[in-house]
Amino acid sequence: MTRSLIIKILCVFLIGFPSFALANYDKQCDVSFQSYVSPSIAGCVFSAKKSGDLSFKLSGRNVTPKKCFSAAGMADEQINQFMEMVKNFVGEKGVLLIKEQGDLISGKMTTNSFPDEGMDFPPLKKDFGGTAKATLDTGVSIKLKVKESAELTLAGDFGTMRLIGPCKKYNASSTSTTTSSPSKIDKAKATCTDLGFTAGTEKHGECVLKVMDN
């Protein structure tokens, strides 16, 4: 597991996507983290579930986090940073706002990490089964299916993450997300933004890791 992969995961999960203009939503879906599976780096793969259960495999065998990550070239300090990031993912909840027009679906998601900025999704074309798929310029693949509930899958060279939750008719007065006390990562992100780094960039991700090192 290299430092560049940690930065990619930071940028994708904790920072978001490019912004697209959206309005007049139809549905509001209260989504929460379901699962995450990392890519294989030097044979090390880890996964996280909604329950908080974590598993670590090295060449297909269950191992300890330290053995798994050490095989990928990570030092103890990097392993601790990464584990804290994973804990943030497991607790992630958000509100997904949906606009449907014909066979197109678009939306915006705000989360615990970003209750104000949010993450916007461009118009995606649905297939015959009602699932919309697209790959952004950033290389992130989106798969979104919305009926009585929403299922969102984000995938890329950072791994695969799934969020699921029930949907209801959009109500502009009830779209605020529940926030918790700022974590170490949240404080680091705020510090780097104050220093002038643009959220969503690799430089911002590198800054977050450096602040957490101190």
Burial of 107 (0-12, 13-18, 19+ CB in 10 A): buried
Evaluate if residue 1 carries a pLDDT over 60: no
Read off the pLDDT band of 21 (50, 70, 90). Answer: very low
* Residue 179 pLDDT: 46
Percentage above 90 pLDDT, the chain: 16
**Distance, C-alpha 211 to centroid of its chain:** 21
Alpha-helical regions (H) of 64-122: 65-71, 76-90
Evaluate if residue 166 carries a pLDDT over 90: yes
Contact 43/58 with Cβ under 8 angstroms?
yes
- Model confidence pLDDT, tens digit, residues 74-124: 788 777 777 777 776 677 788 888 988 888 998 888 776 655 556 777 888
Domain range annotation of the chain? 3-213
Predicted TM-score of the model (pTM) = 0.71
* Residue 178 pLDDT: 45
